[in-house]
Amino acid sequence: MKHLTAKQTDILVKLAARGSESAYGLQTSLGTLSALKKRGLLNSRHGQGSFTFPRNGIMWSLTPAGRAISVPAKTEASKDEG
């Protein structure tokens, strides 16, 4: 798998902690989330209003592959803090 950007890694760590979140809640673009979905790291669930307000109406969550990547990233982030 190609290298992930710092923003993409940050999103994976946030979703590992939160479970499911919208692009608005993650404060990121739909393009970034769609790129992670194309890599097989995220799932999207279209809820009410997702057509009109996709940034709020689409909920994003980790796939098993995304979860496997987010755990090592989370561990590395905690090592940097200590």
Distance CA 79, CA 53 (A): 38
DSSP-assigned letter for residue 41: S
Span 24-40, mean pLDDT?
Answer: 96
| pTM (2 d.p.) | 0.80
Q: Is 36 helix (H, G, I), strand (E, B) or coil?
A: helix
Band (75; pLDDT cuts 50, 70, 90): low
Give the chain's domains with CATH numbers: 6-74 (1.10.10.10)
